[in-house]
Structure 1
Amino acid sequence: MYLEKFDMELRYGENSHEKAEMFGKPAFKILHEGKQISFNNILDAESAFVIAKNLKKLNGYGSVVVKHQTPCGASVSKSKVDSILSAILADEESSFGGILSVNFEFDEECALAIKKKYLEVVIAENFTKEAIEVLKSKKIRILKVRDYEPKVGKPAFGAFLIGERKLPDLVFKHVAGPKLSESEMTELIFSYIVVEGVKSNAILISKNLTTVGIGTGQPSRKRAAWIATSLAGEKAIGAYAASDAFFPFPDGLEILANAKVKAVVAPMGSIRDSEIIDAANKLGISFYKANGRVFRH
């Protein structure tokens, strides 16, 4: 596959002393730029957009805030504004200077709800004219994205690795602990959709279809669970968790159970799966098996 260089200047590469280029035609249109868009802005924008798009699998409006290609917060709500604000407030400190993507038409009410200079970029498939004018006045970059098939890829050894990016079927199998109701299963689905966009090893905790704790980018799944529960604090009580891959040992599950998380969804495939199931039953935590892992590196 040969891709031509796209005629768009980037402010800089991953760091300010590094140059960057884009090849191929991107699936977005810049409606307002202001300060020139950067390499990192584009990577963060896609990370946010793909998660928001996947949240269309649930009823309601979905919003995601991303920094460093990892979600700070995500939320699904019956209200557009509530969805946006809940995603931001899920981790307000980290969301500052982040990138917001939504899976609905972005209107004036949404634009007015955002604090001045709080976000770097807003991404949606459609914007109203009024929303564009409000966002311009706040000096926020605006990216309109057309539908496309997302991929994963990285340069390696002078070549490029390109792979598919898609969710497994979101049908989970009950394997341990109490069974959940239909509404509770929606919480697990939400958690698993969002954890797909979190850098591995990843553990994500949610409550009321909003993230409350995200443990990301750790070489140890136990450590990711500890970070997620530490960030969630008391919000972990009665909450729902997703792991992007199997638990190699019961210790990560124990951390979630000790924080009083109610239910967990994770893939299986460890040589210690039986130990994990036994631990879930002893701890009284609901455990569901996902149809596949969702590592993101």
Structure 2
Amino acid sequence: MSQTGTHPVAIRRALISVSDKTGLIEFARSLSARGIEILSTGGSAKALREAGLTVVDVADVTGFPEMMDGRVKTLHPAVHGGLLALRDNQEHLAAMEAHGIGPIDLLVVNLYPFEETVAKGASHDDCIENIDIGGPAMIRAAAKNHGFVTVIVDVQDYDALLAELNANDDRTTLAFRQRQAQIAYARTAAYDAAVSGWLAGAIGEGAPRRRAFAGTLAQGLRYGENPHQAAAFYVTGEDRPGVATARQWQGKGLSYNNINDTDAAFELVAEFDPADGPACAIIKHANPCGVARGATALEAYRRAFDCDRTSAFGGIIALNQVLDGATAEEIAKIFTEVVIAPDADEDAKRVFAAKKNLRLLTTGGLPDPKAAGLGFRQVAGGFLVQGRDNGHVGIGDLKVVTARQPSEAELRDMLFAWTVAKHVKSNAIVYARDLATVGVGAGQMSRVDSTRIGRRKSEDMAEALGLAQPLTIGAVVASDAFFPFADGIEALAEAGAKAVIQPGGSMRDDEVIAAADRLGLAMVFTGQRHFRH
């Protein structure tokens, strides 16, 4: 008794029930022209009849009308028996004959638009009504019986099915049915993940017993972080402008590292409200090597570039405003992997058109840095889930803890540096002056090491720019977490820093504050940290 048909299976009878009717009429006409009988329900049947196609109502097959506002229409043995019967099992065939159940060889279903309904901010009741029941049940039945039944759940696969029928005398091969079954189960899994995730949020369940995430393939990637690692890019459908939603105007496909770094760059630059003026972030290996504000996008880019010109080579550049031609001309002077901005004018596009290896992305907007969201990271045997780091502090949140009070200019620069430090890998130290980074120390096991690296980078740039002294002299410093010992403050003072912003909360805060007072530094506590691993 076979569980899988290994031979091509003829399509004689199809059931069509779709919410998304894109391409439906042309597709159904192609099926009908092959002599395939079409069963259908509700709006799908109405659309097909209006197009002049002959359709059999599922209600006529089941002997029951659609009821309860369409909630009950396909949940019937005449439907599920037709999908689940093994065609080489004599007992199944006898049961079909005894109960008048006809085989269904092709199921074409796409589900109620639950994800889209949630994304629109619909009411709780509207979201509930857009949870499909009959659709997933039929899909799972057809996919289970893929030895004999073909299932199509995506509009994009209509042409693939027609091509399969053309190539196999109106039959489908086992390989095709297996592929479509896998697609079908992935679709119902993603659908259930969306429903369970939404419901967890609706009832305030922060740590549900089971957590599922799902995505749709955006593109295959040549490899992952390294050439020996396979990789692909999936999108979740989250309504958040960024690399996942961007339009690519030119250049070869993005790599795994490009996508990761571009996301880091755009999330950072989005912290700076374009209403307050242009901002630019340059990223290398997911860390900022230069961030600045300016009167123009060109000025912001130049100031960000002057933080670490060496690291900027081959980096990712993000802007919070429209990319213009003059800024594009300046960017084009060095090799850059990706430029991402809300938009780009025609002059900028013409400039970059001559740079075939540079990718230009536009997003149409900026992600909201204060919006809630979830992220996850795999560990051996499981994964960690946490909320997006959407923490922010303002002037009113700062607590001055030293004898010297910071000036208004220092406070402004400290908040700028603090915002950048949020996007630097821990341990993070950011030196800043006049709303521009002048030294960044990232990803070190010791906070003192990060302090020294940021200083050294500033010294190197001072030499390259012909400055009399490094710009860390007179700068402010942000630390993503507290200083556990006074040695970090002493290292900052040696670099010439004059003011420090940090979370506070160390057992040795008094010792650290005393060191700042002794060295003449102003220091403020935020009461909030920004670890980034």
Q: TM-score, normalised by structure 1?
A: 0.94
Equivalent position SS for 2:271 = helix
- Of 197, 207, 226, which aligns to 2:433? 207
Q: Deviations over 1:202-240 (max 9, x none)?
A: 111011211111111011111111111222232111111
Residue 223 of structure 1 aligns with an amino acid whose one-letter code is: D
Residue 502 of structure 2 aligns with an amino acid whose one-letter code is: A
Structure 1: distance between partners of 2:347 and 2:332: 16
- The match for 2:505 is 269
Residue 231 of structure 1 aligns with an amino acid whose one-letter code is: K
Q: Deviations over 1:79-110 (max 9, x none)?
A: 21010111122100000000000111112222
- The match for 1:15 is 226
Q: Given the superposition, is the C-alpha separation of residues 58 and 246 from structure 1 closer, same or farther in structure 2, using an over 3 Å criterion? A: farther
- The match for 1:289 is 525
- Of 441, 450, 454, which aligns to 1:224? 450
Asked whether 1:112 is paired with 2:348, we answer: no
- The match for 2:288 is 71
Structure 1: distance between partners of 2:384 and 2:359: 30
CA shift for structure 1 position 157: 2.5
- The match for 2:419 is 193
- The match for 1:167 is 391
RMSD: 1.9
Structure 2: distance between partners of 1:216 and 1:13: 23
Equivalent position SS for 2:339 = strand
- The answer on whether the counterparts of 1:97 and 1:119 sit within 8 Å (CA) in structure 2 is yes
- The answer on whether the counterparts of 2:251 and 2:360 sit within 8 Å (CA) in structure 1 is no
Does 1 or 2 have the higher relative contact order (CA < 8 Å, sep 6+)?
A: 1
- The match for 2:484 is 248
CA shift for structure 1 position 33: 4.2
- Of 359, 362, 372, which aligns to 1:144? 362
Which one is further off, 82-91 or 152-161? 152-161
Larger helix proportion of the pair: 2
Q: Percent identity?
A: 36
Structure 1: distance between partners of 2:411 and 2:217: 43
Which one is further off, 115-124 or 39-48? 115-124
Structure 1: distance between partners of 2:349 and 2:248: 8
CA shift for structure 1 position 151: 5.1
Residue 272 of structure 1 aligns with an amino acid whose one-letter code is: R
Count of residues paired in the alignment: 297
Q: Deviations over 1:11-55 (max 9, x none)?
A: 320012211122224642232242221111011011111110112
CA shift for structure 1 position 116: 4.4
Q: Given the superposition, is the C-alpha separation of residues 244 and 57 from structure 1 closer, same or farther in structure 2, using an over 3 Å criterion? A: farther
- The match for 1:59 is 276
CA shift for structure 1 position 58: 8.4
Asked whether 1:30 is paired with 2:247, we answer: yes
- The answer on whether the counterparts of 1:152 and 1:165 sit within 8 Å (CA) in structure 2 is no
Equivalent position SS for 1:219 = coil
Structure 2: distance between partners of 1:131 and 1:141: 12
CA shift for structure 1 position 71: 0.3
Residue 362 of structure 2 aligns with an amino acid whose one-letter code is: K
Equivalent position SS for 1:78 = coil
Structure 2: distance between partners of 1:95 and 1:112: 16
CA shift for structure 1 position 187: 0.5
Structure 1: distance between partners of 2:332 and 2:360: 15
Equivalent position SS for 1:22 = strand
Larger strand proportion of the pair: 1
Structure 1: distance between partners of 2:527 and 2:321: 28
Bigger radius of gyration among the two: 2
